[in-house]
Amino acid sequence: MKKSAVVFAIILCFPAVLFPQVNSINSLKNQMVIKNVNTELQPTINFSESGKKSTMLAVAYSILLPGMGELYAGDYTIGKYLTAADGVFWGAVIGFNVYGKWQEDNYKSFASSKGGVNVDNKDEDFFARVGGYMSVDQYNREKELNRDYTKIYDTHTHYWNWETNDLRKEYRNLWTSSEQAYNNVRFAVGALILNRIVSVINAVRLVNKHNKNLNTELGWNVNFDISQKPAMPSTMNLNFSTRF
């Protein structure tokens, strides 16, 4: 029966290997050039706006809390459901873990009072076998018949004896309930990990979409040209071009 604390440590340490990095900012440029051929004056106006998002930062946010990467990317439509799901999964982890520990205390107390078991310093396999056999003598006889002498228990340190089969079954039910709760903890932890993977993928997609829109450059060129020809009135030419 593995405890969930080890799995929690993996989740809590997992984000530590990621360091948010901010990429260099590419600007959206708008340029206007006005030229007067007579005076050769060329005033230029440049305008830029920063808005590129970091993929690594979005990944880090999604690992810490699913949905935050999407919020950072500017689209929380799906992210809000991932955040809510994460809260539910954490609640399940805590709830199943508490229930499993409670049932574990119950079956150990029951074994001590009804089966004569000394519960101190006993491993998980021992408690499983206590529920499978009426007594330690019955268990040891089976191992002797199978010539599996390494698994025989010392009756002084690993003693148990159920007076009735109903008592053994009641203990077994308590033990099974605790084990199922701990197994459910593992499923809930797996759901937490999966939820983060989904959030990371979605956040990266949204950041790439956002940055792709920013990388589309828009430029304008406006040229004013005054031409003079002999015996002809002065004319002004206007050239306008747009580039994507």
Measure Cα distances from 210 to 25, 31, 139, 166, 213 in Å: 13, 22, 66, 65, 5
Residue scoring higher pLDDT (132 or 243): 132
Q: What is the pLDDT of residues 54-85, one digit of tens each?
A: 999 999 999 999 999 999 999 999 999 999 99
| Whether pLDDT at 11 is above 90 | no
pLDDT tens digits for 117-132?
A: 999 999 999 999 999 9
- Per DSSP, the three-state class of 79 is helix
pTM beyond 0.85: the answer is: no
Tell me the pLDDT tens digit for each residue of 213-230: 887 644 445 455 555 555
CA atoms within 13 A on the CB side of 74: 13
Of the pLDDT bands very low, low, confident and very high (cuts 50, 70, 90), residue 51 is confident
pLDDT at 226: 56
